[in-house]
Structure 1
């Protein structure tokens, strides 16, 4: 089912008109008509609003709208490859982009794909430089002076494929809309910068998010640890209904909130789980909140309110 079909079906199931849906997510009725006609897909902020309204994960909404970068359907694309010979710490300095995807490859080369449908001079405007030594590899994406940060944030997609034999520690610095970590096993991936949406899917390792942005995070089939290091931020974490997790409130004046905005964990808790779990979610920093959105719990809440 396409996104257009899915949106129309969800709207009708909820018994609301296009105009009512538009009012709920603060867009025009014409925008709803456009999306339901298959003439476009909402931006990430509107997708998140739709996801929250209908209690549907973004993966479910976009199940048939696979990322263009995975299907290599961009008009403009540039590729950079580099051979690996041993595990190394990888430092990714990617600058500004709309979306960054990190996943594994069975090849023994790291592959960096920069892609866009609107940046017709992509090959001249976006350059990838890779430098390595025995223990470290630096991947730097540089923009030419005539490519604005706004244009990059709206139109630049970057895919990083790392050889599964050599994945170790990854440090990522970027300002972006979407960060996707998927189908990969690693020691640690540490993100510094700005983001709006983060998804961790079928991934195993320690993910550390150092950002004061208000994040929307989706987690599915993840194992290991997820750290949120934030100051004065309010983030939302949506777990797949089969995801097992443990919440650890390790910050100062930080707390976990449930889907009804009630306090789940308000006191500092530094204890590790007493029983086995797939994922430990640790909230660090100062005066930040993380709202836990669980698909199964939300459906129960919705039935209670009917």
Structure 2
């Protein structure tokens, strides 16, 4: 995680949080938020941190190369397209076992399809990219006898976005696992099916539109998370002591709370405490349940 990376770099340089803040011309509180996962540096501060410690932004984000799964896969297909300005992205995918979204310091959008069991991956799947003014449309299509069911068993999809040219992202499709790792964007909206969702900080507003029961692992909440469901029961795991406001809307929706796997009382913020909190978890839809679980570092996922 970027929080751990910044902390490690600061300690290697033998700087205090206040010393790092002075070098970057930010407050000590900002550095504390970055190192605890309570916030993520904006693009200008990412550049400044990388320059200070003589590393690339890619190294800072940990996204200089495609995911390990794609590097070790027997078969892959990579599509790239140059981006030269701030863009919104509208992506439709044809189904995958694992879908990973991340940012890197280059100037191309990278779409990588990979598999251990599809030797004809370049024939069975095609990536179409359309550049429409301020928006990039990406369509991942299946061909031949490759079904969506089969794709969700054997196909991996990795999309790397150019760090400096991402505004909003809309992704639709079905996947068993959605991983958002080191992605810098104002907003991400996912519509489709996902059994497991892993969220790392970087996106200001994440919206999940999914009628399937989800296991959502939020490694650090930094902004807004909207969960829209119909007759579903999902679980959101948050690091212990994460401050957040819980909002319940829609029809007959309910939120429950757990601490290290055991039922507990509501531990979301209320009263005057909500005034300075930017972290919001909202459940919307019809007849759905959300369990918000506070997980201590020693226990890991509940």
Report the counterpart of residue 213 of structure 2 in structure 1: 214
Whole-angstrom CA distance in 1 between matches of 2:99 and 2:272: 32
| Secondary structure of residue in 2 paired with 1:81 | strand
Instruction: After TM superposition, list the pairs within 5 Å mapping 1:103-122 onto structure 2.
Output: 103-122=102-121
User: Over residues 39-62 of structure 1, what are the superposed CA-to-partner deviations in whole Å (9 max), with x where a residue is unaligned?
Assistant: xxxxxxxxxxxxxxxxxxxxxxxx
| Secondary structure of residue in 1 paired with 2:93 | strand
Report the counterpart of residue 234 of structure 1 in structure 2: 233
**Do the aligned partners of residues 286 and 298 (structure 1) sit closer, same or farther apart at CA in structure 2, a change above 3 Å counting?**
farther
Instruction: After TM superposition, list the pairs within 5 Å mapping 1:59-208 onto structure 2.
Output: 68-69=68-69, 72-208=71-207
Asked if residue 281 in structure 1 is aligned to residue 281 in structure 2, the reply is yes
Report the alpha carbon displacement of residue 170 of structure 1 after superposing the two structures with TM.
0.6
Asked if residue 244 in structure 1 is aligned to residue 243 in structure 2, the reply is yes
Report the counterpart of residue 30 of structure 1 in structure 2: none
Report the alpha carbon displacement of residue 202 of structure 1 after superposing the two structures with TM.
2.6
CA RMSD of aligned residues (A): 2.6
**Do the aligned partners of residues 273 and 114 (structure 1) sit closer, same or farther apart at CA in structure 2, a change above 3 Å counting?**
farther
Report the alpha carbon displacement of residue 263 of structure 1 after superposing the two structures with TM.
7.0
**Do the aligned partners of residues 167 and 272 (structure 1) sit closer, same or farther apart at CA in structure 2, a change above 3 Å counting?**
farther
- TM-score, normalized by length of structure 1? 0.70
Structure 2 gap ranges (5+) = 1-65
Report the alpha carbon displacement of residue 187 of structure 1 after superposing the two structures with TM.
1.2
| Secondary structure of residue in 1 paired with 2:111 | strand
Report the alpha carbon displacement of residue 242 of structure 1 after superposing the two structures with TM.
5.3
Report the alpha carbon displacement of residue 80 of structure 1 after superposing the two structures with TM.
0.3
Report the alpha carbon displacement of residue 252 of structure 1 after superposing the two structures with TM.
2.1
Aligned pairs, how many? 231
| Secondary structure of residue in 2 paired with 1:275 | helix
Q: Is the 8 A contact 1:255 1:263 kept in 2?
A: no
Q: Is the 8 A contact 2:213 2:234 kept in 1?
A: yes
Whole-angstrom CA distance in 2 between matches of 1:243 and 1:176: 28
Structure 1 gap ranges (5+) = 1-65
User: Over residues 100-123 of structure 1, what are the superposed CA-to-partner deviations in whole Å (9 max), with x where a residue is unaligned?
Assistant: 100001001000000001111111
Whole-angstrom CA distance in 1 between matches of 2:282 and 2:197: 16
